[in-house]
Amino acid sequence: MTELVTQQRIAKVLDQRAHDLLLGHSFAHQQIGFIHTLDIDYGEPMKQRTLLQVEVAAQQKRQQSSTAHHKYRAQASEQLHKVIETAIFKQLEDMDGVIHSTIGIEDGIASILDILAVKSASVGRLEPLVNDLSWLGRELVTLVNLPYYRNQRSKNTSVKVDSPSLALRYIGLDNLQLVIPTFAVRHWMPHSTDPFSLLKRRLRDSAMANAIAAQKIAELNEVNPIHAFTLGMLLDVGRIALVRLYLKTFEQVWQRKVQIARQEQQKDLHTALLELKPDPLFLTTLLSNKSLAISAQVIEQMAFKYLPFKGVMQQLVHGVDKNDEMLPLTNIMLKARCYSQYLNLKEHQLIEPDETLSWFSYFKFTKTELKTLQTSNFTNLAIQID
């Protein structure tokens, strides 16, 4: 096996591990096959009396019953998820519905991001678009009135800001290029991701790390850093769509199946269904296999006029054709996503030094890029409000 093939295999494994980690630390460990040492009792086993023959028979019967129930529950889950999968793919055929109803992306957001991408951008052009998006106006006003930013302003201008128009002027175009993509993606996040309690936060952190890493790498490679930051933020929009679709569809299909089982007095099926919850293995497979392609479709439907994202997303999804070269922004996105995933895996001690070295080598990180990223802040935007 050549070194490149080995690196490619490790990169694929780590990408899947990063997807697993989104759904929970314990789940990611289980997928690797780690033994949870906290579950192991290293003490001396207690002496047990010899079981009577009748007790042995009863124990065996209980085990058989338990095994049969687990098999039945697994079959019920498999049948349930076949229906869910069909329903999700049917919904994905209507991308307009996914964009507007599932994710909640308004048309004005694409226009705002487009305006921010050009040199002729002005607060005056943004103002009517922001006023049409009440949630965005509220977010901008809240940001400006945070104590940290109020303290930065002079005493003469430290009054409380109460209108989006004034907030836009205080924040300024340079800051808005970072703030608005961030607020937009946060607005699209699922309200709840139960039973995956940390999934929403990890999706948000992943988008932030993607965007900041892309911006830093772009600055070092003379690529437009705002284009890189914006696409880095949008890169996970497919994940957001699929998480929303799965959790909503699971609840709808599950409730219908439970109701039918109750009406038809199928006691075993009803009991099995009541024990079922959203399946992390189904969801992580869905995210790993489909999220990037869904992101590409969403970004294409947003129909940006000035942001050059369509070709980049096609290369990320389908690879680079033999006679074509990788676009500079494509290369930056690959590195940014890798580094974003690395940060999460490292935080949870789910990546080894040799795996890291191979992964970074595969994506051809330079020493300067790694040094810059190692000293970067991936949790807060570097903005300064005058």
Q: Which residue has the higher pLDDT, 59 or 146?
A: 146
- Residue 41: band (very low, low, confident or very high) from pLDDT cuts 50, 70, 90: very low
Provide the mean pLDDT of the chain: 88
Cis peptide before 195 (omega within 30 of 0): yes
pLDDT in tens, 309-327: 999 999 999 998 888 899 9
- Burial string for 99-129 (b: 16+ CB within 10 Å, else e) reads beebbebbebbbbbbbbbbeeebeeeebeeb
Interval 193-200 mean pLDDT: 94
What confidence score (pLDDT) does residue 330 get? 97
Q: Taking every pair of C-alpha atoms in the chain, what is the biggest distance, in angstroms?
A: 89
What confidence score (pLDDT) does residue 384 get? 73
Q: For the ranges 70-79, 89-98, 272-281, which has the lowest average pLDDT?
A: 70-79
> At 190, which amino acid appears?
P
Percent share of the chain, pLDDT over 90: 70
Q: In the predicted model, is pLDDT for residue 301 greater than 90?
A: yes
What pTM value is reported for the model?
A: 0.88
What is the rounded CA–CA span in Å between residue 179 and residue 165? Answer: 15
Q: Which residue has the higher pLDDT, 42 or 155?
A: 155
Q: In the predicted model, is pLDDT for residue 40 greater than 50?
A: no
Q: For the ranges 57-66, 230-239, 358-367, which has the lowest average pLDDT?
A: 57-66
